[in-house]
Amino acid sequence: MKISEFQSLIRDLYFNKDKTRGIKPTFVWLIEEIGEFSRVIMEEEINIENASEELSDIIAWTNSLANLLEIDLESAISKKYPNMCPKCNLKPCNCSE
């Protein structure tokens, strides 16, 4: 599945609700998912099924925010990460931090 196809699916599923809710309340939902993922990785033995669901939810809410801001995430990602590290311009990255 292309990045743009998933953004389109999230638009079809949630745009009306996202639009009514607005950007900042939608951002709060992203943070809620961040919190859920943090609970998963705090466990001594990480449940990969749960981690997969929470990472998917983080991606989904990030797409909702992109839809609200009318950002084409696939284009944005390709521009920011053009097959090399955007900071050191190398692949693999050789930044010091």
Q: How far is the CB of 20 from a copy of itself (least distance, A)?
A: 12
60: CB partners within 8 A, 6+ apart: 10
3-state secondary structure of 94: coil
Q: How far is the CB of 51 from a copy of itself (least distance, A)?
A: 5
The reply to whether omega before 25 is within 30° of 0 (cis) is no
Residue numbers 48-87 binding a copy of itself by CB under 8 A: 48, 51-53, 55-60, 62, 65-66, 69-71, 73-74, 76-81, 83-85
39 near a copy of itself, rule: CB under 8 A: no
